[in-house]
Structure 1
Amino acid sequence: MKILAFQGSPRFGGNTDLLLSAFLRGAEEAGAEVRRYDLYRMDYKGCLECGGCDRTGECVLEDDLTPVYTDLLDSDVIVLASPIFFYNLTSRTQALVERAQALWVRRYVLKNLSPRDAHGLLLCLGATRGKKLFEGVQRVVRYFFDAVGVTYRGGLFYRGIEKRGAVREHPTALSEAEALGRAVAGGLPPERWSLSDP
């Protein structure tokens, strides 16, 4: 199994980083092949709405996201991990989502990208405890996964986590992430994954 992961927090060693690392540790222990991108270590822009992909389904921008398109289409599971900034994904994560426009064109305009048996997950944390904290980002992520032909399955969501490393004090977050990684890579069907209620 190939798992592609995006770490979308600018705070390395922070809560999102730790949560994703726990997930990937469990996945690797279960035998998955893992590729991870730390988005804040990469040089790229969001979509410029230039229309360059309209005929080919290929993004005309050449930057650190260029090789990512192949990975997006070649993975069995794609994991987005992002903290909540102002009830939204981080800017780097949002820029990645925008750049899926080329694949959206490929799927819906050119009709040469079919859905596949691949799954998408979101790992998300926020400092506040708002009831609708994860509502907007889930809608964005759902459309991102749809554009790349992947089925969004949900994920793990944690409120009230802010200080660097505070996720370590959460009673279950890291163990749940590791267990989810192990279940996903171990071949359990999605309906048996332990996902949290946003």
Structure 2
Amino acid sequence: MKILAINGSRRKQGNTSILLQSILKAADQAQHAIEMISLGDYRIEACTGCEGCSGSWDCVIKDDYAELIHKLDQADAVILGSPTYWYTVTSDMKRFIDRCYSLIQYPHNRQQWIGKYQDSHKVCVTAAVCEQPEESMMGNTLTLLSDFSRDIGLQLIDSVAALHCFEAGRVRGETTVLEKAEQAGTMMLQALER
């Protein structure tokens, strides 16, 4: 099985990365193929709303986005993670999500759409980190990642929130959160094996 973890943080050894690694623990122990990417390493231009992807699954903007979608196409499971910047995901993650407009089609009207991965049996876990101790201060970070995953047709298995984590590595001290992350990773694998 192929597991793709997409990190919206530019801190490559930061809290989001640690959280994603905890989710990946079960897959690593089972020796599945794992790839963790940092969106900051890719050139992803802003969506222009040109509708050039209408009628296909392909974005017409030529940058690194197509490479990311190829990885997504090949994955059996996807983990989406982002720290909270001003009550939402990072700009790297938001640009990626906006460009994934190409992964939905409107066959009949604008009120109903089909996600590219609908009925593909691809599964997803979402994860978010927030500096503040209250989940309300996370804004829509986790709900945006989760809603997005469902919209493109991924089966959402679980979501993990790490609160009160600012300094790089702070989440290592949050044993309850890390245990929840490992459980989410185990549930993800169980869903794939069904």
TM score, norm. by length of structure 1: 0.82
State the AA in 2 paired with 1:128.
Q
Establish whether residue 122 from structure 1 lines up as the match of residue 126 from structure 2: yes
Establish whether residue 6 from structure 1 lines up as the match of residue 10 from structure 2: no
Contact 1:27 1:183 in 2 (8 A): no
Deviations 1:143-164 (A, max 9, x none): 3213321122331111111111
**2:79 aligns to what?**
79
Identity among equivalent positions (%) equals 24
**1:24 aligns to what?**
24
Deviations 1:125-176 (A, max 9, x none): 1011234244522332233213321122331111111111111122333344
Compute the displacement of 1:101 (Å): 0.5
1:44-193 aligned within 5 A: 44-105=44-105, 114-134=118-138, 136-185=140-189
Compute the displacement of 1:89 (Å): 0.4
Q: Distance in 2 between matches of 1:176 and 1:113?
A: 26
Tell me, which stretches of 5 or more residues in structure 1 are unaligned? 191-198
Cα 1:189–1:137 change in 2 (3 A) is farther
SS at 1:35's partner residue? strand
Q: In the comparison of the two structures, how many residue pairs are matched? A: 190
Contact 1:7 1:38 in 2 (8 A): yes
Compute the displacement of 1:81 (Å): 1.0
Deviations 1:87-116 (A, max 9, x none): 100110111111110111277668876432
Contact 1:30 1:185 in 2 (8 A): no
Establish whether residue 39 from structure 1 lines up as the match of residue 43 from structure 2: no
Q: Distance in 2 between matches of 1:72 and 1:134?
A: 26
TM score, norm. by length of structure 2: 0.83
Tell me, which stretches of 5 or more residues in structure 2 are unaligned? none
